Amino acid sequence: MAAAGPIGTGAVEPANVLRAYFAARRARAARRFLCCAVPVMTMLLVGVQAAAGLLAHGAVLAQMALSGAVAAGAAVAEWRATRTFHALIRGCRQAAPPQPY
């Protein structure tokens, strides 16, 4: 018998739930970091280009688009990790027998 129930009953392993929880937390931390750091780095890069006289309209638009893509990718990764974690939690609740009060 496993910690979450008998093997083969479809019970969710606690290790899988913890793994999904920490993956969701890492994804959230990465998203928060990237959403703060990437715009700052983009503005610094635009500033350096402007100071060097290399500022082109297309280059600024490309940098802004890449900045947005990185933030969007981090948000999607967080959403997917959180969704996986919540699905495992729902599986635990459905697999658990009702508790008498």
Q: Over its length of 101 residues, how does the chain's per-residue pLDDT go in tens digits?
A: 345 445 555 566 888 999 999 999 999 999 999 999 999 999 998 888 888 887 788 888 888 899 999 999 999 999 999 999 999 988 877 766 667 76
Is residue 9 assigned to a domain?
Answer: no
Is residue 54 assigned to a domain?
Answer: yes
Q: What CA–CA distance (Å, rounded) separates 45 from 99?
A: 58
57-95 and 14-52 are packed helices; what angle lies between their axes, rounded to 10 degrees?
A: 170
**pLDDT at residue 2 in the model:** 46
Domain limits at 24?
14-93
Instruction: Single out the residue of 6, 79, 75 nearest to residue 35, CA to CA.
Output: 75
**pLDDT at residue 9 in the model:** 52
Q: Tokens for 22?
A: 């920490």
Is residue 1 assigned to a domain?
Answer: no
Backbone torsion region of residue 8, taken as left when φ is above 0, otherwise alpha when ψ lies between -120 and 50, otherwise beta: left
Is residue 57 assigned to a domain?
Answer: yes
**pLDDT at residue 92 in the model:** 79
Instruction: Single out the residue of 43, 32, 24, 35 nearest to residue 89, CA to CA.
Output: 24
Number of domains in the chain: 1
- Output the pTM of the full model: 0.71
Is residue 55 assigned to a domain?
Answer: yes
